[in-house]
Amino acid sequence: MEKASVFEYAKCISNKKQICKISCHKFPAGERTRLHKHDFAELFWGVEGTGIHYINGRQKVIGTGMLYLLRHGDVHSVIASNDRSYAFNNLMFPWKLIEDMRDRYESPILAAWCCNDPEKPLEIPLTPVLQAQINLALSDIFMHLNERLPVEYFLIHLIYELEKQQNIVMLNAPAWLIQLCREIEKPQNFRQGTKIFVKLSGYSYEHVSRKIKEYLGKTPSELLNNARLNYAAAQLVSGAGR
């Protein structure tokens, strides 16, 4: 088995005053990051293509629409698919920043992030509008890499939005339901109405309806309406609707 490299925060940043580091990666088909672990916190999200995420001895196909929260003890690597490239953004910052926020706020996401359980990697669905917002927010953070306040503001806003949208309940949801929620955000799917739930999931409408209610507290129709609104909002944020 490949030995994991150790990335130290102090060696990854450009100067001692820097609070965080932002990176934008695009790997050609088949290329990858080294298998590694680190002493800092990291989050990343795909912006284009597909790949595979190796984490703590497991692997999972990844694309866009998911946010991955890495702990300081996680061992992971990202590899682009053999047939296409994969691009993602990531933000790294001192682990103590997350611990301090956990101590100040009652947040299920922060509590889960600080729970060092390699059997439970953190993956949270992103709505298109929230993904557009965090991509825009990176430019502001990039101008303040030496200041703690903008980084904390970004993280607090992100976690607040995730919990407000009830994505936190998806942490323990079955994989097929997480994938369904990602697919239903696409216009070619939500425009087909509730019949698309059966086609995308492979389960009966009644079963899908029960699970959506259990994990999201919504009906299938409400989930569809939210997808339509999120798409419209994302178009406005990106300027595509102008």
- For the segment 201-240, what is each residue's pLDDT rounded down to a tens digit? 999 999 999 998 888 778 999 889 888 887 887 676 556 5
88 forms bridges with which residues in the sheet? 25, 46
Which domains are assigned to the chain?
5-128 (2.60.120.10), 176-238 (no CATH)
Question: What is the per-residue pLDDT for 165?
Answer: 66
What is the H or E stretch that residue 227 is in?
Answer: helix 220-238
How many C-beta neighbours within 10 Å does residue 15 have? 7
- Return the number of other C-beta atoms located less than 10 Å from residue 123's C-beta: 17
Distance from C-alpha of 174 to C-alpha of 215, rounded to nearest angstrom: 10
Distance of CA 138 to the CA centre of its chain: 14
Six-digit token pair at 159?
A: 């976690």
Residue with the two structure tokens 């086609």:
199
Q: CA 87 to CA 136: how far, in whole Å?
A: 16
> What amino acid occupies position 187?
P
Phi, psi of 145 (to 5 degrees): -65, -20
CB 32 within 8 A of CB 3: no
Q: What is the pLDDT of residue 240?
A: 55
The number of beta carbons lying within 10 Å of the beta carbon of residue 3 is 9
Integer Cα distance of 83 and 128 in angstroms: 25
pLDDT score for 1: 52
Where helices occur in 84-204 by DSSP H, the ranges are 95-104, 108-114, 128-142, 148-164, 175-183, 187-190, 196-201
Distance spanning both ends of the chain, measured CA to CA: 51
**What pLDDT digit, counting tens, does each position of 115-128 carry?**
878 887 888 888 77
Q: And the tokens for 51?
A: 């790949």
Which segments in the chain show pLDDT lower than 70?
1-2, 165-172, 234, 236-242
Q: What is the pLDDT of residue 188?
A: 92
Give the integer Cα–Cα distance in Å for 204 and 144: 50
